[in-house]
Structure 1
Amino acid sequence: MPPSAPVDPRVRLAIRLLDKGIAAHGVPQRLLSDNGSALNPGRRGYVGQLVAHVSRLGVEAITGKPYKPTTQGKNERFHQTLFRYLDKQPLADSLEQLQSQVDAFDLIYNTERPHQGLPGRVTPEAAWLATPKADPPRPKPDRPRSRTLPAEAPVRTVPTEDTLRVIKLRENGSIRLHRVTYMIDGQRAGDDVIVIEDGDAIIVADLDGTILIEHTRPAPGVKYVGNGRPRGRRPKSIPVSPMS
């Protein structure tokens, strides 16, 4: 197995930005990047931390060929459009103001501006919504799965960065995190979910990026956090015959 990548301060930032994208849009099938040491240094003979991070989620990390910038050319061209937009805006006094300008550009670019590279000059959002969405990858378990999973039995956790993990829901649809049980959804028992810890915020989403619960870390001594629904199985819906 190739040796691990040396420590690179840019890697943690790259992983953090990727995790934000996963939380918003779900786990992708593939991650395309260049061959930089902070992204995918596989051609240099070692496994990068970002590659190891996404591989645990089941994502295939791929790169363009060295010295072939056309592979990432569409992304580079996007940067040029962004910079031209920012050049026409008032000079930002802070990172917060700059982020607001970038957010405004994203809205215009994706939802208002016709894209000359798309059929019919539709917007990127329209093209995205019209394209079938691929199923998220399924991470390989680190141990064989049993046929039955008792509610209090340990469950498989795919290790990732400290801020994001993939955890399998227990038989009753809950997870246990830092000695606290969080009820998610009994009808999703056995499903893999994304667990994000950002300071005191606890966010649980499915692999498509849909948020299932969002809580503030409970006070010391609290051992159970519900999902806002009554305990027990949901009542089955009863078909109603039309009135004659």
Structure 2
Amino acid sequence: MGVIQKSGSPYHRQTQGKIERFRQTLKKWLALQPAAETIDDLDRQLARFQHIYNQERPHRALDRKTPAEVYTSLPKAAPVTSSEQHWRVRYDKIDDVGTVSLRYESAMRHLAIGRAHKAKHVIILLAGPEVMIADVTTGELLAEHTIDPSKNYPPKK
């Protein structure tokens, strides 16, 4: 489904700002509570904090709304199914060695069209990993590719 997990750099606090701020708030809140005597007591305190933090406490960064209000007010993303395929359209020019470059899954891909087509203006249609490249003036289909994420130079069909 094209989901990529990204993690922050360990020991690099600049990339962990939100979680560091959350931990600071949690530590201050716990310091004001009576010390938990058992794990069950601590679990209850943490559940209470979670409820207050998400349901009751307004946040400045959220226009004084609670995280729960903001979360429920936004539309939720869902994976694209094959019947809902989204097409990306790009206009480009074939370079001197007969390729066009585009970004797919956060990496540059170089698609071979052929030196015979160098300097032609093209329209590039992308639907997921499927790519079609056509001459913009004639509509002639010049190349089709299926991008393999493990390769920067996918073979032409």
- With normalisation by structure 1, the TM-score equals 0.30
Normalised by the length of structure 2, the TM-score is 0.46
Structure number with the higher strand fraction is: 2
Bigger relative contact order, structure 1 or 2 (CA pairs below 8 A, ≥6 apart)? 1
